[in-house]
A and B are shown apart, each in its own frame.
Chain A
């Protein structure tokens, strides 16, 4: 079964440093998303991306965050200057038609720890 792949699985970074989280969506999917989940809390939407541009973003997705599709397979989330409160699991997701539900597939996540 096709999977969304995220790397690394765990990243530790110093406060103020830049991090790039990487995702390889399912190959025929056209819509890409980032979510985060602070430990023990609910999943929160960050951003959606389609046709090489952001289609929606939440209040969490401020100027410190950016997304990019640098080539035909990767989808990245960059945090410019990390803060302690950025520590969370970050999930990438992709879908073929932009609809939620079956076929909207999540990766296993990257655990980001900011120290």
Chain B
């Protein structure tokens, strides 16, 4: 079946360091992947996306890497700031083009 999962439920990072959040997916037919950020009490917020014909995409302070060989997706956040504290979800589009979500990784920033 289709599923998206995350490797670590919680990640603690020193402020200023880079963060790497990982995600594994099982549907090799998925062709579009998205990272969402969910701050406490708010809805998911789009961060960055990537299509399966790419292996890397960069945004402002964020980079998404896609490794289709091992069905692995990662989100890299450069110079992590207190405002980056949130739960991060990866999501993929399944065969019906609806979002299939992973379980989420909570990012904690240490001062």
Residues of chain A touching chain B, judged by Cβ–Cβ distance below 8 Å, are 4, 41-45, 48, 56, 58, 91, 93, 99-109
In the complex, chain A residues whose CB is within 8 Å of the CB of B44 = 43, 91, 106
Known: A42-B103, A43-B89, A44-B101. A102 touches B49 (CB 8 A): yes
Query: A100 and B45: CB pair below 8 A?
Result: no
Q: How many residues of B contact A (CB 8 A)?
A: 21
Known: A42-B89, A43-B101, A101-B34. A109 touches B49 (CB 8 A): no
Known: A42-B104, A100-B93, A102-B49. A109 touches B98 (CB 8 A): no
In the complex, chain B residues whose CB is within 8 Å of the CB of A93 = 43
In the complex, chain B residues whose CB is within 8 Å of the CB of A4 = 43
Q: How many A-B pairs fall under 8 Å by CB?
A: 50
Residues of chain B touching chain A, judged by Cβ–Cβ distance below 8 Å, are 32, 34, 41-46, 49, 89, 91, 93, 96-104
Chain A interface SS verdict (over half): loop
Minimal beta-carbon separation of B100 from chain A (angstroms): 8
- The 5 A-B residue pairs with the shortest CB-CB distance in the complex, in nearest-first order: A106-B43, A42-B101, A43-B101, A101-B49, A42-B103
Alpha-carbon distance A48/B98, docked complex (angstroms): 9
Query: B46 and A104: CB pair below 8 A?
Result: yes
Alpha-carbon distance A109/B42, docked complex (angstroms): 7
Known: A42-B89, A42-B101. A101 touches B46 (CB 8 A): yes
